[in-house]
Amino acid sequence: MRYSYFPGCSALGTGRAYVESLHAILDVLDVELAELDDWNCCGATAWPSVDGVKAVALSARNLALAEAQTPGDAPVDVVSSCAGCYRALMKADRTMREGGEVAERVGGALDSIGLSYEGRTRVRHPLDVLVNDVGVERISAKVVRPLSGLTIACYYGCLLVRPYAAFDDIYDPVSMDRLMQAAGAESVDWPLKTRCCGGSCYCGGPMIGAMPEATLKLSYTLLREAKRRGADAVATVCPLCQFNLEGFQDRMEREFGDRLDLATGFATQFLGVALGLDERTLGIHRMLRWLPRRPSVAEGAHAGA
Amino acid sequence: MRPFGSFRRWRSVKDQSKFEAYLDPGFASEIATIPGGEKLQQCIQCGTCTAVCPMSAYMDYTPRRMIAMTRAGCRDDVLGSLAIWVCTSCYSCTVECPKRIPITEIMHGLRQMAVEEDRYPRRFTTPVMAQAFVEMIERRGRSTESWISVKLYLRTNPWLLVKNAAIALRLIRRGRLGFGRESVRDPGELKAFLAATERPAAVRSSVERVRQPTEAVA
Amino acid sequence: MPAPELASTPSSNGKVKIGVYVCHCGLNIAGKVDVSSVVEFASTLPDVAVARDYKFMCSDPGQELIEQDLRDGLVNRVVVASCSPLMHEATFRKATEKGGQSQFYFQMASIREHVSWVTADGDHATEKAKALVAAAVRRVALHEYLEPRRAEVLPDVMVVGAGIAGIHAALTLADAGKHVYLVERETTIGGHMAKFDKTFPTLDCSACILTPKMSAVRSHPNITLWTYSDVVGVEGFTGDFTVRVRHRPRYVREDLCTGCLECIEQCIHKKGKFDDEWNEGLSKRKPIYIPFPQATPAVVVVDPETCIWFKTGKCPQTCIEACERDAFDFEQTETFDEVKVGAIVLATGFKTFDASKMPEYGYGLYPNVYTSLELERLLNAAGPTGGVVELRDGSKPKVIGIIHCVGSRDAKHNLWCSKVCCMYSLKLAHMVKERTGAEVYNFYIDMRTPGKGYEEFYDKILREGVHMVRGRVAGVSDEAASPEEEGHLVIRAEDTLIGSVRRIPVDMVVLAVGLEPQPDAQDVRRLFNISCGGEGWFTERHPKLAPVSTFTDGVFLAGTCQGPKDIPDTVAQAGAAAAEAMAMIDRGFMMLEANTAHIDDEACSGCKTCVGLCPFNAISFDEERKKASVNEVLCKGCGVCVGACPSGAAQQHLFTDEEIFSEIEGVLAYV
């Protein structure tokens, strides 16, 4: 299986471990990701705040590049690992397919740089690929170090299922839960799977400094509820959510006087551990908090090693 | 807690009537130009948007009130509100609205108008961030988190440079925060491409060649 | 009405003299169409003797214009350019007849529905009106003398569905001496109303007012009650329907069972084991059961899906032993009845919205989230808890939240307001407060309490201290944001009147589910050949002026199958449906359109194409002469044979080839 890959800007920074672990596990599962050549920023949610047409144009250029770099008539699957980019690319795809003034203006601009968007691209998310293309059964067959004894709360965030619930349930997505279960972990059933963490795509987040009290509380609400339901760790699939929940956990603990101590990693990292990959390949050395602090979990994680 | 207990509070009491003369009856139809924006006329003020909104508690006007005010033509209040910048674009309201009003898109539309009319809150991070971000993409085609943050702090609250230094250091040590500037191969071409979207639609554009999706996308 | 002496030919000297009458319809037509220019144009058309316009042709003076011209011998054919045939064709035909000519010497040009209402430009509209008038003039000149036909109306009536609507319609008809076949698909009559404990706004006990009517149905000499039965076929036409009804086996003979319930006691299952549908699954029943004590008929039923005898063939059959009347018959199979009736009243009711379609409200996920119908059963003395409101773990709720508009006013589910939920939610609030002393919160979008005594009831509930929060609930979850929320369900809504989000921890959530058409509404609609909207509510003939009749003569609507309504409205509509059915039956006949088909013997080639196509079996074939012929008594004038006949031998009155072609020529000649 071969996919076009759109890393997105955060892949080069805070989300590095996500990209590394994604590549690592897909390698094991015989999936090839070919990075889109000369990709540009998706527009995030900052661009729609300033110029709605250019926001679509930025993502449409990436989709058009994917088509140009994959000759033929076959559908082109573009994997986008960042949830923010995923939404932006989906939106561009929809806008271009539906037609209308925005689509026409963007189409004209694409023409001017010798590109076009035919609409044969399908925007995919790694969870979508793992669950629907690779298959949970094939993944569990490759698990060598099951994460037994580990309870994970899967946090999907906003933009993975909203507004486009393309591959999972809009209220109760389960794809990540199925992967974590395949990895041998237990997954928590909780109602905040898709509640906003506050770190959303450059619009808030304590790092940015917009309403730190509010955004911190949103993240804390998530972690507190995960902990209340017995989670040892929170798995995410968005670089922004992950950084938000991990980087500011100390501050949450201080501000709300509550000991959380939750490992917050990428689902791909947890899966990678179960597939027997070493920590460095999975970028675990880049994390600020990780599992081995918990002896019981560490035992489980190393049981098969 | 004691609204009239202090001199300041009762001195600031003023007429809060919304006189028709101060309202802009065409405001709602401006918003209606956003795809789906005309649906805001169908709002039944049920408050679902507010209740699902993770940030509504921190808004000066709840999303439901924003719709009502837009419909009533309270242009100044709406475009000058903090609420449009507090929105995190999580799309909960859009998904849950029983009238299928694309509220997130309307919020984005209001932001664009506020930026165009230059009346966003100057030191509030979200609009400043959005503009810093846009500038960077226009120049280089890709963003670099580190430089965005530095730019933002300098424009809003330089104290954050110090406050976030510790966490930044931890990230740098783990290779998660770099200062190398990312870029597309030909930033000039990208700039021209973006500028080209400002031209009115060409007669024959690539849109006409867009095929129907081969598979139904949910 | 004594038939006036009619001229059998257009006029004594055979010359066609057409009168054209153009209606202004106030400004409905005249506001767009230049009426005087249409009149001027009409007067130039061949055979037109008189052309006039009038403000309202349908008014008495308007009709008088036509009659007078006919009586004066100025005209002998009539064209009225006005609204639509559906609206006023009968009016003007009658006027033509009163003027002394055959009613079929009339043709209508629809220049309101087809022209003024749907054309933006006035000049276009005027030209279009002229074209339609030209067409009508050409056509009416060719109209032939026809006798109107009469069809007998059979005296019996079928009522389908025996909820309160069907019961009331059946009793009304039966009391008037009509014989009624009342068909109910469930094992008992009573419908949703039998499940309620009390009814708004008077708080009458539902059973107390319903069960007397149920037993009246059972004992009425003019009612044949068929429960556990459904209609599987409808044939025939207005006034003469043949309805086929299937009776499903109860495995207990209805004529022998006395409802002593001894068999249920003696069933090999010592305790109920299967979800009791009547109690919305809140209690368990045995394979042999009766839905509730006053079920009518009071006859037990065996569920073959769960009965051990049916599943394994091995059971001591203690039930049979217990029966003193030998009422059991495990060999029973489906049986069928076929009856002929003159009219049909459909009262097939509604279903409630499936709350699990809104996962955000946690129905099916959290045990303490109930639907309103479930709460009705909990409140009912004959319900699963004997009328005690308790949660599934047996504890008493201290705080209860009632969520309005579940599935209603929602573009993702049902767009309509279900009309009854505001009021029944208030009723439920009152009752649970009375029974448990709990704090009750009602979450509403808009309170809708129009109806006699309804607003007063709302006022009473407010005085009782029920909390009213104006805001649609966004979600119910067990996420605890504070210690007070631990162990509770939290309802999240914007209190829109305050302008803030509220999180209210409750012990019990009640979902005021809306009303929906029955899932098989489309099948029923096809069976009875009536129409329904896309959502599935049956369509009445006119939303204001013909609310209980349908576009199929002889089929009437009663109750919620036509749209959401409460009990008073349902009963009123059922009475109206019964009265309209009665009016038709008591008249004894129906006047039918004279548009039957006939076959020209000379032209018929004997190919038999038409014979098989006729949906009414009205065409027979004479094997000796090799000719087809139409029985005009059976012919409904559908025109299938006319369209299919390869040699043009099949022709239809009022739609002869010449008439249709000349009409087309009329339009085209003008264009």
pLDDT digit string (tens) for chain B, length 218 residues: 555 566 676 777 788 888 888 899 899 999 888 888 999 999 999 999 999 999 999 999 999 999 999 999 999 999 999 999 999 899 999 999 999 999 999 999 999 999 999 888 887 888 888 888 899 999 999 988 888 888 888 888 888 888 888 888 888 888 888 888 889 999 999 999 999 998 876 544 444 444 444 444 43
Q: Would you call B90 an interface residue with chain C, using a CB distance cutoff of 8 Å?
A: no
The neighbouring-strand residues paired with C470 are C444
User: What is the pLDDT at residue C669?
Assistant: 82
Q: Which residues in chain B have Cβ-Cβ distances shorter than 8 Å to C353?
A: none
What pLDDT score was predicted for residue A293? 45
What is the pLDDT averaged over residues C618-626?
91
- Measured torsion, CA atoms of residues C142, C145, C148, C149, in degrees rounded to the nearest 10: -100
Chain A: nearest CA to B20, how far in angstroms?
A: 29
CA dihedral B90, B95, B99, B104 (to 10 degrees): 20
Stretch A171-200: mean pLDDT: 92
Segment A203-225 shows an average pLDDT of 76
Q: What is the DSSP letter of C359?
A: G
With CB atoms and an 8 Å threshold, state whether B182 touches A9: yes
On the question of a cis peptide bond just before residue C201, with omega within 30 degrees of 0, the verdict is yes
Q: Give the rounded distance of the alpha carbon of C18 from its chain centre.
A: 42
Give yes or no for residue C14 having a pLDDT over 80.
no
Helix or strand holding residue C569 (H, E): helix C567-587
Instruction: Label residue C37 by pLDDT band (50, 70, 90).
Output: very high
- At C583 the three-state DSSP class reads helix
Ranges A36-40, A248-252, B62-66, C251-255: which has the least confidence? A248-252
- Beta carbons of C479 and A225 less than 8 Å apart: yes
Per-residue pLDDT, averaged over A213-226, amounts to 89
Measured over the CA atoms of residue C355, residue C359, residue C365 and residue C367, the dihedral's sign is negative
* B91 touching A (Cβ < 8 Å): yes
Instruction: List chain B residues with CB under 8 Å of C495.
Output: 47
Q: What is the pLDDT of residue B204?
A: 42
Best of B41, B50, B52, B55 to mutate (most C CBs within 10 Å, chain C): B50
Taking only the tens place, the pLDDT of each residue in A81-112 is 999 999 999 999 999 999 989 999 999 999 99
- Taking CA–CA distances from B105, the nearest residue in chain A reads A48
For chain A, the first-to-last Cα distance in angstroms comes to: 29
Average pLDDT, chain A: 89
Q: What is the pLDDT of residue B5?
A: 63
Helix/strand/coil (H/E/C) assignment for every residue in C44-75: CCCCEEEEEEECCCCCHHHHHHHHHHHHCCCC
Residue A10 one-letter amino acid: S
Summarised one tens digit per residue, pLDDT across range C77-94 is 999 999 999 889 999 999
Beta-bridge partner residues of C542: C546
Of C359, C480, C481, the CB nearest to A172: C359
| pLDDT-based confidence at residue A305 (cuts at 50, 70, 90) | very low
Query: Taking CA A107 as the corner, what is the angle to CA A106 and CA A108, rounded to the nearest 5 degrees?
Result: 90
The reported pLDDT for the residue numbered B17 is 85
Mutation pick from C444, C496, C504 vs chain B, by most beta carbons of B within 10 Å, is C496
What mean pLDDT value characterizes chain C? Answer: 93
Contact with chain C for residue B65, Cβ under 8 A: yes
pLDDT of A211 over the 80 cut: no
What does the alpha-carbon distance between residue A91 and residue B38 come to, in Å, rounded to a whole number? 19
Q: What is the pLDDT of residue A297?
A: 45
pLDDT > 70 in chain C, percent: 98
| Chain Cα centroid distance, residue C442 | 32
- The reply to whether A225 touches chain C by the CB within 8 Å rule is yes
Structure tokens at C425: 């939610």
Work out the pLDDT band at C664, boundaries 50, 70, 90.
Answer: very high
Q: Please, which chains are in contact with C (at least 3 CB pairs closer than 8 A)?
A: A, B
C476 neighbors C363 (Cβ within 8 angstroms): no
Q: Does C360 sit within 8 Å of B96, measured CB to CB?
A: yes
Mean pLDDT of C468-489: 94
Higher pLDDT, A205 or C512: C512
**What per-residue confidence (pLDDT) applies to C548?**
97
| Angstrom distance (rounded) from CA C628 to CA C642 | 12
All residues of chain B having their beta carbon less than 8 Å from the beta carbon of residue A106 are: 197, 207
Of all residues in chain B, the one with the smallest CA distance to A10 is: B145
B173 close contact with A: CB closer than 8 A:
no
pLDDT tens, C345-374?
999 999 999 999 999 999 999 999 999 999
List the 457-486 stretch of C: residues with Cβ below 8 A of A.
475, 477-481
Binary contact (A191, C480; C-beta < 8 A): no
Least confident of B124-128, C63-67, C295-299, C477-481: B124-128
Residue B120 is predicted with a pLDDT of 86
pLDDT at A222 over 60: yes
Instruction: Find the CB nearest C360 among A171, A192, A225.
Output: A171
Q: pLDDT value at position A201? A: 43
Interstrand relation of A233-236 and A263-266 (parallel, antiparallel or unpaired): parallel
B111's tokens? 């932001």
> Cβ distance C442 to C429 under 8 Å?
yes
The residue with greater pLDDT, C191 or A1, is: C191
pLDDT reported for residue C352:
97
Q: Locate tokens 């009390």: which residue? A: C198
**Helix, strand or coil for residue A129?**
helix
Query: CB contact, 8 Å: B211 with chain A?
Result: yes
Name C598's Cβ contacts closer than 8 Å, sequence gap at least 6.
Answer: C630, C632, C650, C651, C652, C653
DSSP string covering C419-450, please? SSHHHHHHHHHHHHHHHH--EEEEEESS----
B52: tokens are 């699902």
Model pLDDT, residue C4: 41
Output the pLDDT for position C70.
96
Q: What is the mean pLDDT of residues A169-190?
A: 95
Nearest CB among A171, A172, A192 relative to C479 is that of: A192
Residue of B nearest to A46 (CA): B130
The pLDDT tens digits for C139-157 are: 999 998 888 888 899 999 9
Say what the pLDDT of residue C247 is.
97
| Total residues belonging to chain A | 305
pLDDT at residue C488 in the model: 96
- A119 Cα to chain B: minimum distance (Å): 5
C634 falls in which pLDDT band (50, 70, 90)? confident
pLDDT of res. B7: 66
Bond into A163 cis (ω within 30): yes
pLDDT at res. A208:
63
Query: Looking at residue A207, what is its pLDDT?
Result: 59
Q: Is A68 on the interface with B (CB under 8 A)?
A: no
- Any C CB within 8 A of A217 CB: no
Band of the pLDDT at C590, cuts 50, 70, 90? confident
Determine the pLDDT at residue C632. 79
* pLDDT at site B218: 37
- How large is the angle between the packed helices C122-140 and C657-670, nearest 10 degrees? 150
Mean pLDDT of C323-352: 96
Across the range C523-537, mean pLDDT stands at 93
